[in-house]
Structure 1
Amino acid sequence: MLEQINVDYFILLTALLLIIGVLTTKFSTRLGVPALVLFLLVGMIMGSDGLGLIHFNNPKLAQLIGILALVVILFEGGLQTKWSSVRAVATPSLSLATLGVLLTTVVVAVAAKLIFDISWLEGLLFGAIVGSTDAAAIFAVLKGQNIRDRLSSTLEAESGTNDPMAVFLTLSLIELMTIESPFYYLLVGSFIWQMGMGLFLGFLFGRFAGYAINKINLDSSGLYPIFALAFALLTYIFQT
């Protein structure tokens, strides 16, 4: 009986959050406020410091939900972004996603070194963790705003591609801090391999997904979003 109550509570809470999320998006457009701000407000109200309906005491579950949400957000952002617009801003967006993240990491490292009196590796780790912009935040803030197309496309492309650089820097710095005799040349090879294979697999799965969705003839139109979402999750798994 207790398990049934927990299941019903979870389903009810999920349904309420989805309804509130949709309504929040509608109100954010009318108020001229980014939907992300209202989402954060809803989370604070529902959390342990508000109504106490959700307790954020399970980091693994929170990570799982966050990753699934990020996959959906990136997939939806990719669908809404025209390739012609991205191609026109490929150079500045990729520069920001790589050199920009590296520069931000160094700047934050210098500040952390001076303020907290920590080692340079620890300072660089601070910078790598906060060096990338969040794709979900960028997509939510830019949607419906009066921003020039070129600038909007640059920011969207940069936010969707800077995570690999930040993840690589974070993991590499952790390895340098924990291993007594790290192999620096292996880090360079790993960077080239991961970036190259990630780009290749993303392009390959994207092309295949587009071909499969356009060619397959499903009996119900409601199956197409599920089919597309499955490809989004599959692409993420193979890229990681």
Structure 2
Amino acid sequence: MDDLPFLLGIGAAVVLVSVLAVRVSTRVGLPSLLIYLGIGVLLGESGLGIRFDDAGLTQALGVAALVLILADGGLSTRWNTVRPALGLGIALSTVAVAVSIGVTGLALWALLGLDLRVAFLWGAVLSSTDAAAVFSVLRNLGLSGRLVGSLELESGLNDAPVFLAVVLLSSTTALSWTDPLLVVYELLVGGLLGAALGRVGALGLRRAALPATGLYPLATLAVCILAFASGQLLHASGLLATYVAALVLGNSTLPHREGSRSFAEGLGWLAQIGLFVLLGLYVSPERLTDSVVPALIAGAVLLFAARPLSVAAASIGFRVPWREQIFLSWAGLRGAVPIVLALVPLTSGLPGARALVDAVFVLVVVLVLVQGTTLPFVARKLGLAGDSRVEEIEVDAAPLDTLRADLLQMTVPIGSRMHGVYVRELRLPEGSGLSLVVRNGTSFTPQGESRIQEGDQLLVVTTETARDAAEERLRSVDRSGRLARWRGDTGGTPNLRSGERGTPPRDGGGPGTMGR
């Protein structure tokens, strides 16, 4: 108890500094994970002297954090954004993973002289991409819907098969021909279980009459965590069950859905901060010098051979242009997941596992610095970046349960084509209407001849059944103006290379998407 105030104070200070670091990292164009890792190193034995070397506890806390991060990612993923990229996203998280493991393993076996099984273990650990690292760099690049959707799906889905591969390769038992069938079973059952629990959870939450609004976010997140626990108990993929359950819940009609998403987003940020700081605290900087050369060799193999070949293999049959394939290859950033996965063989007592952890830590930092600083440049050179100066309309929703309606609040951004549009030209669907406009601190009830201006805050009341159509119409007018329908913009995620704007990527939970 005497140490409790000190520990709570340190924890609060770390969270506050980490929250402020998000803004700093956005300005300089680097993922905030580097700052979080740096905070952990400063708190560790080489800084303030806090010694923490419990690999088992680090792995357990890391997996728990990944569950919360996947739940946040699934709840915030818009189905109409990822649906056009569903096939490519699944291929990137399965076919690309297998190719990456094979290419990386064989190359490191030849270049570093590793045992073949250990070399494939290195390939498996390094084959998982990180959503937080990717989207903190991609924000406001204005990429096409397929690129954003495929990267988002890949980062949410590939953790499950990679984790299974790492567990199999970390085992001391001989590999069997039945192991691939076991992986298929675990992924299939995990996905079906997550979908079933997501549907049942959504139905139960709609019918439940909970006494307090704050209970709905707790119940929603509990369903996602239950999906992980159920998957693990059934010897299926709990990580995949978590993401799929959250994806189903996030795209279902739920009471206080926006509040649930905001709650999960906050916990997702806390999990990311805690995970990266914990990993920085665990790593000993004195050991990292011996891992620089192996890490650089592994990084070169991954960056210039394994990732491009795996993307090319996954793109077969999807007609992905070579420019997009190059960008997908360069956008495969690594984050906390490979470091957590590297702890699995360490806790299993595999020889040489400590060197793997240190090399992966060095490699993550190097790849984030190399790829993270150059991704915007690569996107522009390939002609894939759209207008990054204008953000799409943001919408917050407050449910009106007794009326079975929602109140949507929007701010018209600078550069929006909604500027100058008459209210009557919005043509909102039946069951929805613009009820109030706040301009320069003054509110008024709009008429049909009222014109919308940049910076206006709009309040739209809509029934539950008309909500999706109202949001799609507002998006289309924001992007294409009063003639949105004539231009073929129906509110979905457009291809930005034609000059339109889409939903900006998330930095593990940042603004820029329309709430639902």
TM-score by structure 2 length?
0.42
Match of 1:232 among 224, 241, 259: 224
Match of 1:161 among 153, 157, 167: 157
1:70 aligns with 2:66: yes
How big is each residue's C-alpha offset from its partner over 1:21-41, in whole Å with a ceiling of 9 and x where there is no partner?
322223333444322232222
2-side partners of 1:32 and 1:158: how far apart?
A: 22
2:52: which partner in 1? 56
Structure 1 spans left out of the alignment, 5+ residues: none
> How far off its partner does 1:163 sit?
1.7
Please say if residues 34 and 141 of structure 1, whose CA atoms lie closer than 8 Å, have aligned partners that are also in contact. Answer: yes
1-side partners of 2:156 and 2:70: how far apart?
A: 7
Please say if residues 128 and 166 of structure 1, whose CA atoms lie closer than 8 Å, have aligned partners that are also in contact. Answer: yes
Instruction: State, as a whole percentage, how many aligned pairs show the same letter.
Output: 31
How big is each residue's C-alpha offset from its partner over 1:166-208, in whole Å with a ceiling of 9 and x where there is no partner?
1222233344xx335x542x21331221111011011112222
Q: How does 1:16-31 map to 2 (within 5 A)?
A: 16-31=13-28
Range with greater deviation from structure 2 (41-50 or 158-167): 41-50
Please say if residues 100 and 123 of structure 2, whose CA atoms lie closer than 8 Å, have aligned partners that are also in contact. Answer: yes
> How far off its partner does 1:214 sit?
3.4
Q: How does 1:64-143 map to 2 (within 5 A)?
A: 64-143=60-139
1-side partners of 2:217 and 2:63: how far apart?
A: 19
SS in 1 for 2:3: helix
Please say if residues 92 and 154 of structure 2, whose CA atoms lie closer than 8 Å, have aligned partners that are also in contact. Answer: yes
Amino acid at match of 1:112: L
2-side partners of 1:57 and 1:159: how far apart?
A: 28
Please say if residues 70 and 136 of structure 1, whose CA atoms lie closer than 8 Å, have aligned partners that are also in contact. Answer: no
Please say if residues 74 and 135 of structure 1, whose CA atoms lie closer than 8 Å, have aligned partners that are also in contact. Answer: no
> How far off its partner does 1:232 sit?
2.1
> How far off its partner does 1:144 sit?
5.1
> How far off its partner does 1:160 sit?
1.0
> Relative contact order (C-alpha < 8 Å, sep 6+): which is higher?
2
Judging changes above 3 Å, is the alpha-carbon distance between structure 1 residues 235 and 161 closer, same or farther for their aligned structure 2 residues? same
Amino acid at match of 2:36: F
> How far off its partner does 1:162 sit?
0.9
2:212: which partner in 1? 220
Amino acid at match of 2:8: I
More helix by share: 1
2-side partners of 1:29 and 1:219: how far apart?
A: 40
Range with greater deviation from structure 2 (92-101 or 212-221): 212-221
How big is each residue's C-alpha offset from its partner over 1:59-83, in whole Å with a ceiling of 9 and x where there is no partner?
2332232222211211111122111
2-side partners of 1:86 and 1:103: how far apart?
A: 23
2-side partners of 1:237 and 1:136: how far apart?
A: 24
2-side partners of 1:59 and 1:212: how far apart?
A: 39
Judging changes above 3 Å, is the alpha-carbon distance between structure 1 residues 35 and 174 closer, same or farther for their aligned structure 2 residues? closer
Structure 2 spans left out of the alignment, 5+ residues: 233-516
2-side partners of 1:213 and 1:130: how far apart?
A: 39
More strand by share: 2
Amino acid at match of 1:167: F
1:187: which partner in 2? 179
Aligned residues: 232
When Rg is computed on C-alpha atoms for both structures, the one with the higher figure is 2
> How far off its partner does 1:226 sit?
2.1
Please say if residues 75 and 232 of structure 1, whose CA atoms lie closer than 8 Å, have aligned partners that are also in contact. Answer: yes
Match of 1:45 among 39, 42, 46: 42
Judging changes above 3 Å, is the alpha-carbon distance between structure 1 residues 118 and 42 closer, same or farther for their aligned structure 2 residues? closer
2-side partners of 1:226 and 1:10: how far apart?
A: 26
TM-score by structure 1 length?
0.84
